[in-house]
Amino acid sequence: MTLSSGNKRLAADKAGYRHDDDGGDGEAQSGRWLISYADLITTLMVLFLALYALQLAKNRELEVRMLERREVKSATASGSIHAPAGAPEAARRQLLSLLAPLQDNRQITISNASQGVEIAINAKILFNSGDARLLPGSFGVLDQIAGVLRDRSKNNILVEGHTDSVPISTAKYESNWELSSARAGVVVRFFADKGIEPHRMAAIGRADNFPLIIGDDAAARAANRRVTILVDY
């Protein structure tokens, strides 16, 4: 009886040992799986952050280039434009001739940047006051501009939203920064829908930091509310 009881206890101890050993292996496997999953998530986050940083760098490079090129601007009252020396005259003249009907109809104004063309559209043609939804009447103007720019695949495009100096605070836009950025983004999205490659474009809100006319009267505020499209060469 004593021997039999001893054998039973030994067998029980061995069974318990095996059970504990199996449990340890299971916990180790679970731990390794969690570590692999965490590594995967970390890798994906690093990849997304890298792609986001590259896109920001691209937009910043385009913005800086456009700002440099808009330093030299001139537009006469008759609408004739004299390009700066060294600019690709043939391409510039072709672009201006294609846009001339819109300028003649006073729907846009055109001026020279140092190595490109700036197209300005008064905001009242595009939007209601304090809003960033395109008015149906703006589609024709933007469609004609898109038709001209669509076939110029070598030209980058920077769309800028500008407001007047009157502060805005609505349920949708807390400041002129948000409003001007939304307006620029809407125009870029319209151009993309019309077939202009998204990688050629960038949008930025300028709020009231680049006024055409210094002043706070109604005429100055109306002139400063605009969207500009900078086409580089």
Q: How crowded is the C-beta side of 157, counted as CA atoms within 13 Å?
A: 28
Domain annotation covers residue 50: no
Question: The domain containing residue 179 runs over which residues?
Answer: 70-232
pLDDT given at position 34 = 61
pLDDT given at position 43 = 79
Cβ 110 vs Cβ 96: under 8 Å: yes
Domain annotation covers residue 19: no
Residues with Cβ within 8 Å of residue 194, at least 6 apart in sequence:
142, 143, 146, 147, 150
Number of folded domains that form the chain: 1
Domain annotation covers residue 36: no
Sign of the CA dihedral running 27, 29, 32, 37: negative
pLDDT given at position 152 = 81
In the chain, the amino acid numbered 143 is D
Domain annotation covers residue 210: yes
Q: What's 139's domain CATH number?
A: 3.30.1330.60
What does the pLDDT look like over 101-127, one tens digit per residue? 888 878 899 887 766 889 999 999 999
pLDDT given at position 99 = 85
pLDDT given at position 28 = 56
Domain annotation covers residue 85: yes
Mean pLDDT of 131-146: 95
Strand partners, 122: 226
Domain annotation covers residue 127: yes
Residue 164 has pLDDT above 70, yes or no: yes
pLDDT given at position 1 = 46
The stretches of the chain forming alpha helices (DSSP H) are 2-69, 89-104, 123-126, 139-150, 176-193, 218-224
CA 155 to chain centre: 17
Domain annotation covers residue 198: yes
Using pLDDT thresholds of 50, 70 and 90, give the confidence band for residue 65.
low
What does the pLDDT look like over 170-228, one tens digit per residue? 889 999 999 999 999 999 999 999 999 999 999 999 999 999 999 889 999 999 999 99
Residue 12 has pLDDT above 60, yes or no: no
pLDDT given at position 23 = 52
pLDDT given at position 175 = 94
Q: What is the pTM of this model?
A: 0.64
User: For 6-10, 29-33, 125-129, which range has the lowest pLDDT when averaged over its residues?
Assistant: 6-10
Domain annotation covers residue 204: yes
Q: In the predicted model, what is the mean pLDDT of the chain?
A: 78
pLDDT given at position 60 = 62
pLDDT given at position 221 = 93
